[in-house]
A and B are shown apart, each in its own frame.
Chain A
Amino acid sequence: SAVISQKPSRDICQRGTSLTIQCQVDSQVTMMFWYRQQPGQSLTLIATANQGSEATYESGFVIDKFPISRPNLTFSTLTVSNMSPEDSSIYLCSVTKGLAGGTDTQYFGPGTRLTVL
């Protein structure tokens, strides 16, 4: 398994500002993912972050709004830029460790609960 921590655990931000969320893993991982979970909803994948390359964004998400860094095999950041109330969500970091293709288990961090006023 993997132990994942996220900072901050929660924040309340003003409209128009930006917040950077950190994800730290206790061991090296191959792939890192960022998800958004809006209140009472399922998880939506924002982007996949691989070390040493640009993040791959899903439809509806763009780099200018959600820039991502992956400087090494244990750390990633997601920035939510120019926030609006619609960005209020839980943001979850997720990782896979192996190279076994689609059989890998994805492990999740505890999430960052963001409220935008």
Chain B
Amino acid sequence: AQSVAQPEDQVNVAEGNPLTVKCTYSVSGNPYLFWYVQYPNRGLQFLLKYITGDNLVKGSYGFEAEFNKSQTSFHLKKPSALVSDSALYFCAVRDNVGSARQLTFGSGTQLTVLP
């Protein structure tokens, strides 16, 4: 079975400061990891994914995420937060074992960037 946890319901950060949104996962085999962002009254937008290779993945809007196999984590980061980054962020995982193709989502983290 695959699962993902986002331990923080809410993260507040001042504009211009670095931000981190945490995610840990559990899979049987190797993980495929994804980050999505949801703005109010919108669907989910894909930010980035880790499949294999370099542990630091760069994505849209200046976001990046670091895959850490020993800690089973895939934290989302950005060096300098913008007020427009305020949104709901979801981490998701898919196991490379078995036939299931669907993603399992975390509970979401509401990011608020304060001006």
Q: Find out whether the CB atom of B36 lies under 8 angstroms from the CB atom of A108.
A: yes
Flag the segment in B13-21, B63-71, B93-101 that touches A.
B93-101
Neighbouring A residues of B32 by C-beta, 8 Å:
102-103
- A104 and B49 CA atoms in complex are apart in Å by 10
- A41 and B103 CA atoms in complex are apart in Å by 16
Q: Find out whether the CB atom of B51 lies under 8 angstroms from the CB atom of A42.
A: no
- A35 and B15 CA atoms in complex are apart in Å by 33
B residues bordering A, Cβ < 8 Å? 32, 34, 36, 41-46, 49, 51, 90, 92, 94-96, 101-103, 105-108
Which of B32, B41, B102, B107 lies at the interface centre, i.e. has the most chain A CB atoms within 10 A of its CB? B102
How many residue pairs link A and B with beta carbons under 8 A? The number is 51
The one of B34, B95, B102 that contacts A45, using a Cβ cutoff of 8 Å: B102
Count of chain A residues near B, Cβ 8 A? 24
In the complex, A96 has a CB within 8 A of chain B: yes
Q: Besides A33-B102, A108-B45, 16 other CB < 8 A contacts?
A: A41-B108, A42-B90, A42-B106, A42-B107, A43-B44, A92-B43, A92-B44, A96-B101, A102-B96, A102-B101, A103-B32, A105-B34, A105-B49, A108-B36, A108-B46, A109-B43
